[in-house]
Amino acid sequence: MTSFQTIDDLEPGQRLLVRIDVNAPVEDGVVQDDRRFARHAETIRELRADDHAIAVLAHQGRPGRDTFVSLEQHAEILADHLDRPVEFVADTYGDEALLAIESLERSDVLFLENVRMCEGELPEEEPEIKAETELVRTLSSEFDAYVNDAYATAHRSHASIVGFPLVVGAYAGRVMEQEYRANTAIRERAFDGPVTMILGGTKAEDTIPVIERLADIVDHFCLGGVIGELFLRADGYDLGYDVDGTELFDHQWEAHSETIRDSLETDATEVMLPTDLAYEADGDRAETAVAGIEKQTSYLDIGSETIDRYTERIADSEAVYVKGGVGVFEDERFADGTVEILSAIADADCVSVVGGGDTAHSIELYDLDEDDFTRVSIAGGAYVRALTGESLAGIDALERGSRG
Ligand SMILES: Nc1ncnc2c1ncn2[C@@H]1O[C@H](COP(=O)(O)OP(=O)(O)O)[C@@H](O)[C@H]1O
Ligand SMILES: O=C(OP(=O)(O)O)[C@H](O)COP(=O)(O)O
């Protein structure tokens, strides 16, 4: 079991730097989902009740993406959940931020600017390197302790996740603790019948490497979204390329094509790929068989035949894990695959876990009932990594921090 300290181990009335993950779906600059806010608000409420002064550190999107925006609206959404004001400062560790941190009083909550706007936060590097960044050095000297509640980012070796525990006392927040325990417990469960995993979404880099590592607990993988297309490309089909200005496919292909080929050849588990796909034609949804694809276009959902194949597999399963939508479900025309798969899981007599910030959002978007699933995790990449039984960089850092 774990050996990290939690917020139960904190003396009251401390000055705390609290890393949360409120990375959310964003459309036209506006946050679309508050699921993660609601969870982290619980931790912050508890910390306020113990008279701590709190500065919140978080990220949104990745540099260069449309979802990479300021956290000003995030501070407002958190304030709504806390039912009290949350001050926002458009700076993370510069003079303006330090001034705001200095004037923090007990039970105050200050929200710092998007940490991914800071040099040193990215890319993934060893904790020792991250601990030496100006970001970590500067902020750590302002606080008595660091609380990591950002389980959904615990698989990233970023400065705000792995750097602080090396230089300041580190504690797990409630969300970190609860998600860690729940996702670790899923790994331990044994099933007599088949276990199926639906993999989709855009972050194929997080899911491609886990397929072979999950072969001991998953019998069938059903692929859609970007990962589905990359596997079809490896299987010899003329798709899975960046077209229409996308930047989703080629860099992930370059980094992972060998692993994909290995996963396709494995006998340890079944990897099911789409046999038809949906795309936009004259403003409507159109479908084509994968076998007939010649022309490059953006494919935005799995097709009807694939949906039938995957939902049949789900109906036969004793457990189903989901990470990532199998199509661009935010657009109703391309939501069929994701919604029908989730509905089939909800109807099936199986243990089910749905993970990922965007994927969890689809449950709410299409009025599915969260109670029909055994568990909906706010984490995506971190949850699938936890299923492999391998450690998460953020958890390792908390454990190191607890050893002193
Ligand atoms: N074929 C596709 N092309 C582009 N985007 C896709 C495709 N299929 C799914 N997506 C997108 O994947 C996103 C979710 O991906 P990801 O961030 O990896 O999942 P999560 O946040 O749930 O872990 C959804 O917002 C959806 O629009
Ligand atoms: O939303 C997140 O992960 P997820 O999409 O796997 O749920 C986390 O905030 C991590 O974000 P990142 O994948 O840009 O590092």
Asked whether 7 and 134 are in contact (CB, 8 A), the reply is no
The mean pLDDT of the chain is 96
The 10s digit of each residue's pLDDT in 210-251 is 999 999 999 999 999 999 999 999 999 999 999 988 899 999
The ipTM value here is: 0.97
Identify the residue whose C-alpha is closest to ligand 1 atom 20: 356
Distances (CA, A) of 282 to 29, 223, 261, 279, 285: 27, 27, 35, 10, 8
Per-residue pLDDT at 404: 59
Q: Tell me where in the chain the CATH 3.40.50.1260 domain(s) lie.
A: 7-172+392-403, 182-373
The 3-state secondary structure of the chain, one letter per residue:
CCCCCEHHHCCCCCEEEEECCCCCCEECCEECCCHHHHHHHHHHHHHHHCCCEEEEECCCCCCCCCCCCCCHHHHHHHHHHHCCCCEEECCCCCHHHHHHHHCCCCCCEEEECCHHHCECCECCCCHHHHHCCHHHHHHHCCCCEEEECCHHHCCCCCHHHHHHHHCCEEEECHHHHHHHHHHHHHHHCCCCCCEEEEECCCCHHHHCCHHHHCCCCCCEEEECHHHHHHHHHHCCCCCCCCCCCCCCCHHHHHHHHHHHHHHHHCCCCEEECCCEEEEEECCEEEEEEHHHCCCCCCCCEECHHHHHHHHHHHHCCCEEEEECCCCCCCCHHHCHHHHHHHHHHHHCCCEEEEECHHHHHHHHHCCCCHHHCCEEECCCHHHHHHHHCCCCHHHHHHHHHHHC
Per-residue pLDDT at 207: 96
Per-residue pLDDT at 262: 94
Per-residue pLDDT at 280: 95
Mean pLDDT (whole number) for 7-14: 98
Ligand 2 contacts CB of residue 181 (under 6 A):
no
- 176, 175, 180, 224: which is closest to 198 by C-alpha? 224
Q: Is 21 annotated as a binding residue?
A: yes
How far is ligand 1, taken at its centre, from the CA of residue 49, in Å?
38
> Does residue 1 carry a pLDDT above 70?
no
How far is ligand 1, taken at its centre, from the CA of residue 357, in Å?
10
Per-residue pLDDT at 306: 98
How far is ligand 2, taken at its centre, from the CA of residue 104, in Å?
29
The 10s digit of each residue's pLDDT in 141-181 is 999 999 999 999 999 999 999 999 999 999 999 999 999 99
Question: Identity (one letter) of the amino acid at 241?
Answer: Y
Q: How large is the greatest C-alpha to C-alpha distance in the chain, in angstroms?
A: 66
Q: Is the domain defined by 7-172+392-403 classed in CATH 3.40.50.300?
A: no
> Does residue 349 carry a pLDDT above 90?
yes
**pLDDT-based confidence at 295, cuts 50/70/90?**
confident
Mean pLDDT (whole number) for 176-199: 95
Mean pLDDT (whole number) for 338-351: 97
The 10s digit of each residue's pLDDT in 61-74 is 999 999 999 999 99
Mean pLDDT (whole number) for 351-368: 93
Q: Ligand 1: which of 358, 385, 387 to mutate, judged by most atoms within 8 Å of the beta carbon? A: 358
Identify the residue whose C-alpha is closest to ligand 1 atom 16: 201
Per-residue pLDDT at 402: 77
Per-residue pLDDT at 296: 79
Q: Ligand 2: which of 19, 20, 23 to mutate, judged by most atoms within 8 Å of the beta carbon? A: 23
> Does residue 77 carry a pLDDT above 90?
yes
Per-residue pLDDT at 245: 85
Ligand 2 contacts CB of residue 62 (under 6 A):
yes
Fold classified for 182-373: Rossmann fold (3.40.50)
Show the tokens assigned to 230: 């990359």
**pLDDT-based confidence at 2, cuts 50/70/90?**
low
Residue position matching structure tokens 């000297």:
141
How far is ligand 1, taken at its centre, from the CA of residue 327, in Å?
7
The 10s digit of each residue's pLDDT in 21-51 is 999 999 999 999 999 999 999 999 999 999 9
How far is ligand 1, taken at its centre, from the CA of residue 353, in Å?
17
